[in-house]
Each structure stands twice: as structure tokens, then as C-alpha cells.
Amino acid sequence: MNQFNRFNLPLCLVVEEGLFEHVDETVASYLPQIKGQKTIIVTEQFLSDLYPGYLAEIQRDFKDSEIYLSEEGSFDQAMELAKHICIQNIKVVIGFGGGRVLDVAKYAAFVSKAVYICLPTTLSNDSLASPFSVLQTEGMNRKTLGCKIPTAILVDTDMIMKAPKGQTLSGIGDTISKHTALFDWQLAAKHEGKPVDDFAYAIARMAYDSVYHCDDKSLTSKTFIRILSRALVMGGLAMEIAGSSRPSSGAEHLFCHAIEEYYPQLKISHGMAVALGSVGACIFQGRDETQLIEVCKAYGIELNPAAYGITKEIFADAWMRAPETRKDRFSILSTTQLNREWLDMIYDRMAGVR
Ligand SMILES: [Zn+2]
């Protein structure tokens, strides 16, 4: 870190086949100082039942270690874990899981000043390498809290291939949504009279381009898993460098927040909701949405809102309420007069994608 840069970068990013069978060796080659340190492996019951072999292996590798089962992705849980880490003098936190588990582990490691190693079991969104944790606060309310990016990120391609297809699709959705997020970031910067961080912008753009231009769009291809892993990590790094979630979050994320907050009963992942949001945001931005629709089709992302239980009424209501979900966030919605007829047309356009 120098006097101009305030950001941290992970010391290690490894994407490899069979990596979870020798986590200790990989970590030790980058972080020899953590060898023999007290470690806690944060996961959840479901994953512990699904992958007992992997967890036993990691626990064997890190001799002085224990397993902690996170039951909910809440702020209280993260604080309870941080307290345990501090009191027990634990120096290393390993997050083994998807979004919710990783957010709890990341925040607890940040609060307790422990080294955080991220072992994602799915590639469902770019929070795995971001300097933020989204945690449940009161009831269904969730808050995005600033923290530190992981010290090490280890992706086992074999593990990702075992993950449900929907999780990987969600990661693709979160990556392609940068197309509209970056446009909104530029708009906001102009409106607020602040410059866009060129380096963060370029990294986020590269994340999008790598997924968009990938020749191998098969979800079970190792080449593709590698590209998606790096794209998600790049998304996280762009946020770290920018010092905000702006490179990854624009109007499409506001639509997603509205769906999550007002229609929690819907079964739609974060990445799918932002992918749907991106098509609308792209149209509001006055740009051609064809490129986005084509890339979604190429990966098999379903763009018909009805497939997720989103009716025309819900779709229109979510867009209308989207700006309220983050009042301080300037986006294309801040200068767009939405109306029901227009939103219905967009819905029909998306429903008609084959
Ligand atoms: Zn996202």
C-alpha cells in the first residue's frame, strides 16, 4: 500500500482441479506464517452433510482447527462467531460454502482481525471476493456492510462442477450485469462531479468481456469455470479499488433489491434477478439490449420473468419501487420517468425471448 492506494489485494488466487484435496500446501506456499495457527472452518449443516470428505480433509490439513456451522446469514451470527474467534485466539478463518456462509465468515474474520481464506463451493455471485458482506439485520432486512476482501481465494473446479447449475448461472448473471452497472457508475460520477476510477472500471469491464467473449460457454467446462471464477474475483477487486460497490451495482441491482425486499416469496437467485434487471436497465439507458439478451441465451439464462413467478404487476411494481431501495444511489432510474405501458412492453419483450 502506498500513500495513494488505500486498497488491499488477495495474496493468493488459485483456480485448480482437485484443489480442496491439498488446501494446506497451497495456502502454505503463499502464507507460510499461518502454518500451525488456530483455525476455524465456517460452513453450514447442509454442506457438512454433502461434503464430509472434503471437510475432514481440510480439518486434517489444519491440525489445530474446529468446524463452525453457520445456521443463518445474519449480523448476529457473524458477531457471535467473531466473539468466539477473539476469545479462543483463532488466527485463521476458512469459509467453505456459498454466499451466505462466506458473508458470515468474511465479516467475522474482519471484525476479529483474523486471516480469511475463501473456499467457495459455488460461483453464485461476486461477493466472494468483494470488500462487503450482506447480512440479515432485523427480520427480512439485509444490510451491506463494508469489510475486507479475502487474503486467499481458492477455487476447486471439481467442486464447482458439482454445484447446482442454477448457482453457476447466477454467477454469470451477476457478471453480465456489469454492462449496465458500469454505465450507471459513469452517469453517477458525472452527476456527482467525481471521476470514475479508471482502473476499477477496466477490471470490471474485463470481467464482463471475459464471460461475454468466452468461446466455451458450457457450464461444465473447466475452461469456462476458470474464466467465471476469475471474472467474479475481478468484480470483487473492482469494488475494492473503487472503494464502493458502484462498478458492480447499478439500476439492475436496485430492481433485484426491490424483488428481494418486497417479494421474498419468489424463487429467484440474486444473479438471475440482476440479469433480468440488466435488460430493463439497458433499455432505460437508451442502449441496444440485443447484446445482453444474446449472451443470456448463449448461457441458457431464462429471461422470461414468468418463469420465476414474476407477473407483469410484480415486474412493474419492482421497477417503480427500485429507486427507493437505495435512495442515495444515483442511476438511470434517477432521470427516467417509468410508466406502466413501457414496463409492460419490456416484460413482453423478455417473455418473447426464445
Ligand atoms: Zn450482484
Find the helix or strand (DSSP H, E) in which 13 lies: strand 12-16
Mean pLDDT, the chain, whole residue set = 93
Distance 37 CA to ligand 1 centre (A): 33
Helices and strands (DSSP H and E) totals, the chain:
15, 8
Find the helix or strand (DSSP H, E) in which 132 lies: strand 132-136
Which residues sit with Cβ closer than 5 angstroms to ligand 1, an ion? 174
Per-residue pLDDT, averaged over 22-28, amounts to 90
Sorted by where each begins, the domain ranges of the chain are 12-161, 165-351
Is the pLDDT assigned to residue 93 strictly greater than 60?
A: yes
Confidence of residue 297 (pLDDT cuts 50, 70, 90): very high
Report the CATH number of the 12-161 domain.
Answer: 3.40.50.1970
Find the helix or strand (DSSP H, E) in which 145 lies: strand 142-146
Is the pLDDT assigned to residue 300 strictly greater than 50?
A: yes
Is the pLDDT assigned to residue 140 strictly greater than 90?
A: no
From 111, 110, 100, select the one nearest 8 (Cα to Cα): 110
Per-residue pLDDT, averaged over 10-20, amounts to 92
Per-residue pLDDT, averaged over 327-336, amounts to 95
Distance 14 CA to ligand 1 centre (A): 22
Per-residue pLDDT, averaged over 212-238, amounts to 92
Distance 271 CA to ligand 1 centre (A): 6
Is the pLDDT assigned to residue 180 strictly greater than 80?
A: yes
User: Is residue 26 a contact partner of residue 12, using CB atoms and an 8 Å limit?
Assistant: yes
Confidence of residue 132 (pLDDT cuts 50, 70, 90): very high
Per-residue pLDDT, averaged over 29-55, amounts to 93
pLDDT of residue 15: 92
Is the pLDDT assigned to residue 2 strictly greater than 50?
A: no
Is the pLDDT assigned to residue 113 strictly greater than 90?
A: yes
Distance 35 CA to ligand 1 centre (A): 34
pLDDT of residue 138: 84
Fold that domain 165-351 belongs to in CATH: Dehydroquinate synthase-like, alpha domain (1.20.1090)
Distance 19 CA to ligand 1 centre (A): 26
Confidence of residue 4 (pLDDT cuts 50, 70, 90): low
Q: Which residue has the cell 481440510?
A: 58
Distance 147 CA to ligand 1 centre (A): 16
The size of the chain, in residues, is: 354
Confidence of residue 5 (pLDDT cuts 50, 70, 90): low
Per-residue pLDDT, averaged over 139-161, amounts to 90
Distance 274 CA to ligand 1 centre (A): 7
pLDDT of residue 211: 96
14 — phi, psi (to 5°)?
-120, 130
Taking the alpha carbons at both ends of the chain, their separation in whole angstroms is 49
24 vs 29, 156, 212, CA distance in Å? 9, 13, 34
Confidence of residue 183 (pLDDT cuts 50, 70, 90): very high
Distance 100 CA to ligand 1 centre (A): 13
pLDDT of residue 231: 95
Encode pLDDT of 256-273 as tens digits.
999 999 999 999 999 999
Is the pLDDT assigned to residue 245 strictly greater than 90?
A: yes
Distance 203 CA to ligand 1 centre (A): 16
Distance 245 CA to ligand 1 centre (A): 9
Per-residue buried b or exposed e for 176-211, using 16+ beta carbons within 10 Å of the residue's own CB: bbbbbbbbbbebbbeeeeeebbeebbbbbbbbbebb
